[in-house]
Amino acid sequence: METTLIILKPDAVQRGLMGRIISRFEEKGLQIVGAKMTKISQELAAKHYKDHQGKPFYDGLVKFMTSSPVLVLAVRGVGAITISRNLMGATFGSKAAAGTIRGDFGVSNSFNLIHGSDSPEAAERELGLFFAQGEVQSFDRPGDAWVYDMSGGKAE
Protein backbone atom coordinates (compact mmCIF):
# COMPACT_ATOMS: atom_id res chain seq x y z
CA MET A 1 0.00 0.00 0.00
CA GLU A 2 1.16 3.51 -0.83
CA THR A 3 0.18 6.67 0.99
CA THR A 4 0.24 9.98 -0.86
CA LEU A 5 -0.41 13.61 -0.04
CA ILE A 6 -3.31 15.37 -1.72
CA ILE A 7 -3.99 19.07 -1.21
CA LEU A 8 -7.34 20.56 -2.16
CA LYS A 9 -6.11 24.04 -2.99
CA PRO A 10 -7.75 27.37 -2.07
CA ASP A 11 -9.86 27.45 -5.25
CA ALA A 12 -11.33 23.99 -4.54
CA VAL A 13 -12.15 25.00 -0.96
CA GLN A 14 -13.63 28.39 -1.93
CA ARG A 15 -15.73 26.84 -4.72
CA GLY A 16 -17.23 24.23 -2.37
CA LEU A 17 -15.77 21.27 -4.27
CA MET A 18 -14.17 19.41 -1.37
CA GLY A 19 -16.87 16.76 -0.98
CA ARG A 20 -17.12 16.10 -4.70
CA ILE A 21 -13.35 15.76 -5.03
CA ILE A 22 -12.96 13.50 -1.99
CA SER A 23 -15.75 11.31 -3.39
CA ARG A 24 -13.68 10.67 -6.51
CA PHE A 25 -10.87 9.13 -4.44
CA GLU A 26 -13.23 7.08 -2.27
CA GLU A 27 -15.32 5.90 -5.22
CA LYS A 28 -12.12 4.71 -6.91
CA GLY A 29 -11.41 2.57 -3.83
CA LEU A 30 -8.69 4.66 -2.21
CA GLN A 31 -8.76 5.15 1.55
CA ILE A 32 -8.64 8.55 3.27
CA VAL A 33 -6.30 7.97 6.22
CA GLY A 34 -5.69 11.59 7.20
CA ALA A 35 -7.48 14.90 6.73
CA LYS A 36 -6.81 18.38 8.00
CA MET A 37 -8.07 21.82 7.06
CA THR A 38 -5.32 24.38 7.47
CA LYS A 39 -4.05 27.70 6.23
CA ILE A 40 -0.56 27.20 4.84
CA SER A 41 2.03 29.59 6.26
CA GLN A 42 4.69 31.31 4.16
CA GLU A 43 7.30 29.09 5.82
CA LEU A 44 5.46 25.86 5.05
CA ALA A 45 4.79 26.96 1.47
CA ALA A 46 8.51 27.70 1.03
CA LYS A 47 9.41 24.21 2.30
CA HIS A 48 6.75 22.50 0.21
CA TYR A 49 7.63 24.34 -3.01
CA LYS A 50 11.40 24.53 -2.45
CA ASP A 51 12.08 22.89 -5.83
CA HIS A 52 10.29 25.79 -7.57
CA GLN A 53 12.13 28.62 -5.82
CA GLY A 54 13.60 31.03 -8.36
CA LYS A 55 11.15 30.06 -11.10
CA PRO A 56 8.97 32.83 -12.58
CA PHE A 57 5.73 31.39 -11.16
CA TYR A 58 7.03 30.76 -7.61
CA ASP A 59 5.90 34.01 -5.95
CA GLY A 60 2.40 33.76 -7.42
CA LEU A 61 2.13 30.11 -6.40
CA VAL A 62 3.09 30.85 -2.80
CA LYS A 63 0.71 33.83 -2.68
CA PHE A 64 -2.13 31.64 -4.01
CA MET A 65 -1.44 28.69 -1.69
CA THR A 66 -1.31 30.94 1.40
CA SER A 67 -4.37 33.01 0.45
CA SER A 68 -7.09 30.79 1.91
CA PRO A 69 -7.52 27.49 3.76
CA VAL A 70 -6.69 24.21 2.08
CA LEU A 71 -7.69 20.64 2.87
CA VAL A 72 -4.76 18.25 3.12
CA LEU A 73 -5.41 14.55 2.78
CA ALA A 74 -3.39 11.40 3.23
CA VAL A 75 -4.72 8.90 0.70
CA ARG A 76 -3.79 5.21 0.73
CA GLY A 77 -4.12 2.32 -1.67
CA VAL A 78 -2.26 0.03 -4.02
CA GLY A 79 -0.65 2.39 -6.56
CA ALA A 80 -2.19 5.41 -4.80
CA ILE A 81 0.26 7.92 -6.29
CA THR A 82 -0.33 7.00 -9.92
CA ILE A 83 -4.05 6.49 -9.43
CA SER A 84 -4.40 9.86 -7.70
CA ARG A 85 -2.47 11.69 -10.40
CA ASN A 86 -4.64 10.06 -13.07
CA LEU A 87 -7.77 11.14 -11.19
CA MET A 88 -6.41 14.71 -10.99
CA GLY A 89 -5.72 15.06 -14.71
CA ALA A 90 -3.27 17.29 -16.56
CA THR A 91 -1.82 20.24 -14.63
CA PHE A 92 -3.78 22.89 -16.50
CA GLY A 93 -7.58 22.68 -16.37
CA SER A 94 -7.83 23.93 -19.94
CA LYS A 95 -5.85 20.89 -21.09
CA ALA A 96 -7.17 18.26 -18.67
CA ALA A 97 -9.38 15.49 -20.02
CA ALA A 98 -13.05 15.28 -19.16
CA GLY A 99 -13.61 12.79 -16.37
CA THR A 100 -10.62 14.05 -14.37
CA ILE A 101 -10.92 16.44 -11.43
CA ARG A 102 -9.19 19.27 -13.26
CA GLY A 103 -10.94 18.45 -16.53
CA ASP A 104 -14.40 18.49 -14.95
CA PHE A 105 -13.99 21.40 -12.53
CA GLY A 106 -11.21 23.63 -13.88
CA VAL A 107 -10.45 25.90 -16.80
CA SER A 108 -7.66 28.03 -15.34
CA ASN A 109 -3.99 27.49 -15.98
CA SER A 110 -3.19 29.19 -12.66
CA PHE A 111 -5.86 27.83 -10.32
CA ASN A 112 -5.69 24.06 -10.72
CA LEU A 113 -7.68 22.86 -7.70
CA ILE A 114 -5.48 20.05 -6.41
CA HIS A 115 -1.95 18.91 -5.67
CA GLY A 116 -0.77 15.33 -5.47
CA SER A 117 2.67 13.92 -4.71
CA ASP A 118 4.47 12.78 -7.84
CA SER A 119 6.66 9.99 -6.42
CA PRO A 120 7.04 7.84 -3.31
CA GLU A 121 9.94 10.03 -2.17
CA ALA A 122 7.91 13.23 -2.63
CA ALA A 123 4.93 11.66 -0.85
CA GLU A 124 7.03 10.76 2.18
CA ARG A 125 8.58 14.24 2.35
CA GLU A 126 5.28 16.06 1.79
CA LEU A 127 3.28 13.94 4.23
CA GLY A 128 5.92 14.78 6.83
CA LEU A 129 5.44 18.50 6.20
CA PHE A 130 1.67 18.46 6.67
CA PHE A 131 0.99 15.64 9.14
CA ALA A 132 2.52 15.11 12.57
CA GLN A 133 3.30 11.69 13.99
CA GLY A 134 0.04 9.84 14.64
CA GLU A 135 -2.16 12.01 12.41
CA VAL A 136 -2.15 9.52 9.53
CA GLN A 137 -4.23 6.53 10.58
CA SER A 138 -4.14 2.83 9.77
CA PHE A 139 -7.39 0.92 9.93
CA ASP A 140 -9.03 -1.99 8.18
CA ARG A 141 -12.00 -1.49 5.91
CA PRO A 142 -14.05 -4.65 5.42
CA GLY A 143 -15.07 -3.32 2.00
CA ASP A 144 -11.48 -3.60 0.77
CA ALA A 145 -12.26 -7.25 0.08
CA TRP A 146 -14.35 -5.86 -2.79
CA VAL A 147 -11.74 -3.32 -3.89
CA TYR A 148 -8.69 -5.59 -4.11
CA ASP A 149 -8.54 -9.17 -5.34
CA MET A 150 -6.66 -10.96 -2.57
CA SER A 151 -7.02 -14.48 -3.97
CA GLY A 152 -3.34 -14.63 -4.91
CA GLY A 153 -2.23 -13.65 -1.40
CA LYS A 154 -1.60 -9.96 -2.14
CA ALA A 155 -3.75 -7.03 -3.14
CA GLU A 156 -4.29 -6.75 -6.88
Question: Could you give the residue numbers annotated as active site?
Answer: 115
Taking each helix axis from N to C end, the angle separating 80-88 and 18-28, rounded to the nearest 10 degrees, works out to 130
Picking from 82, 90, 136, 143, the residue whose alpha carbon sits closest to that of residue 113 is 90
Q: Cα separation of 151 and 64, whole Å?
A: 46
In angstroms and rounded to an integer, the radius of gyration of the C-alpha atoms of the chain is 16
Please count the CA atoms within 13 angstroms of the CA of 90 that sit on its side-chain side.
11
